Amino acid sequence: MALGLLSTGCGGADNGGAAAEKKTGEVTFWSFVKGSDKVADAFNRTHPGIKVNFESVPSGQEYYSKLTNAVKAGTVPDVAVVEYPQLPEFATQGELESLDKPLGSLVKAHFPASVSRLVELGGRTWGVPRDAAPLMLYYRKDFFKTHKIGVPKTWNEYRDMTVRVKKADPKARGGVMFTDNPGLLSALSWQAGSRWFGTQQDAWKVSLDDAPSRKVADYWGGLARQGLVRSLSTLDPFWTSVQQNRTVAYVCASWCAGSQQATVPDQAGKWSVAPVPTWDGKPASAMYGGSSFVIPKGAKNSGAAAEFIKWITTDPAGMKAWVSDGTSSMFPADPRLVPVARTAFATDYFGGQDIYAVGSKSYKAVVPGWTWGPVMGTTNTSLIDGLPKVAEGSVKLLDVLNSAQQATVKDIRHRGMKLAP
């Protein structure tokens, strides 16, 4: 991507001098990711020259506003977590240090192109990937066995499965359309071959309503209108539906395994995971979530910060620290660390199944070429405003994508970035 894609707010963002700076001293670390405190403690025990001071922060937009305000006020942490969808926005606004010199070669050496391109913009590296979030299908194997329902391999088979689930138990559903989180919608569009964002020379291309996305919108909007999937919030309502046997299958990412194990412990042994269905039956996947670590603009100890980031993203000991408490099923973005996570994550809940084997196949099948846009806060806000209306039946899912397209284009223009014709 050309540097012209970055807004004028990126002045001075070419500071790549962290490699020449000291690699000792104190590091302030902001994160909302589960297990971050244990990772900081483990690093401190093994790196006497650096002391990491961990500070827990809220997740979601409240956190990103806090980080932006800290950059403006000159009170930034030395290391912060930023999810992949939000990273381009922070880079284009000049709120991150370039990691080219201290960590650019690390990113190229350790991570597949499908994830490394998510932390690169304008020819520079702005973050180091922590986890990937490959899609998987979660299903109640006892329910499927009792009612002789096959595990779907295609989206046509998935629709048939939802019909059979509803027929077997009128209160149960074989899927969920989330009303407060557009992440799954974007992942399913990605899997279908969509390119919500792209670049043309020094201009952004926005295509939230391209043909693959329209196909996904028609499909999932139809399932919702027909009552074959349940429209729910991703918070308590969703997990309550799982607990009450009203959701017996759903599409999610690798991280849902740990969340389910921790949230619905009494259903241990009843669940399995499978590859996410595809449109043509051939392997294809995408990422639903995932995060990276960055050095915010104005960090006081970027040299030591880079050492800490390297350890928590690519060192086996760092990975072991992430999953040591057993509640996280994080899938490492660095494929070489998958065996470490697999060993640390207990398999009892899923009846001894190696969920990381399924996750590995899904990660390898991630459709290449996806890019997140420069104003994802605006894009996601528009999507979230419309998703409940789809559940109510007052608008179509495609209408929600069209509205988000218009809002995104307007904000990109407002921020002074170019748009491709």
316 and 271 co-located in one domain: no
- Measured CA to CA in angstroms, residue 349 lies from 23, 242, 267, 339, 363 at distances of 42, 15, 8, 19, 22
- Is residue 233 predicted with pLDDT exceeding 70? yes
Phi, psi of 11 (to 5 degrees): -55, 130
Residue-wise pLDDT for 174-184, tens only, equals 999 998 889 99
151 and 116 co-located in one domain: no
List the domain range (segments joined by +) for residue 154. 135-286+375-414
51 and 117 co-located in one domain: yes
219 and 305 co-located in one domain: no
Residue 368 lies inside a defined structural domain of this protein? no
Residue 367, amino acid: V
How many structural domains compose the chain? 2
264 and 250 co-located in one domain: yes
Would you place residue 391 in the very low, low, confident or very high pLDDT band (cuts 50, 70, 90)?
confident
Residue 353 lies inside a defined structural domain of this protein? no
Last residue of a domain, one of 325, 346, 367: 346
107 and 166 co-located in one domain: no
Last residue of a domain, one of 326, 346, 366: 346
Residue 292 lies inside a defined structural domain of this protein? yes
Average pLDDT over residues 30-49: 94
Residue 369 lies inside a defined structural domain of this protein? no
165 and 71 co-located in one domain: no
- pLDDT at 7 (0 to 100): 52
119 and 195 co-located in one domain: no
Residue-wise pLDDT for 86-101, tens only, equals 999 999 999 999 999 9
pTM for the model stands at 0.92
DSSP string spanning 44-88?
HHH-TTEEEEEEE---THHHHHHHHHHHHHT---SEEEEEGGGHH
Q: What is the total residue count of the chain? A: 421
Residue-wise pLDDT for 126-175, tens only, equals 999 999 999 999 999 999 999 999 999 999 999 999 999 999 999 999 99
Q: How far apart are CA 281 and CA 151, in angstroms?
A: 13
- Is residue 355 predicted with pLDDT exceeding 90? yes
Residue from 289, 267, 342, 358 nearest 59 by CA: 289
Average pLDDT over residues 113-122: 92
Return the CATH number at 299: 3.40.190.10
Last residue of a domain, one of 346, 365, 393: 346
331 and 293 co-located in one domain: yes
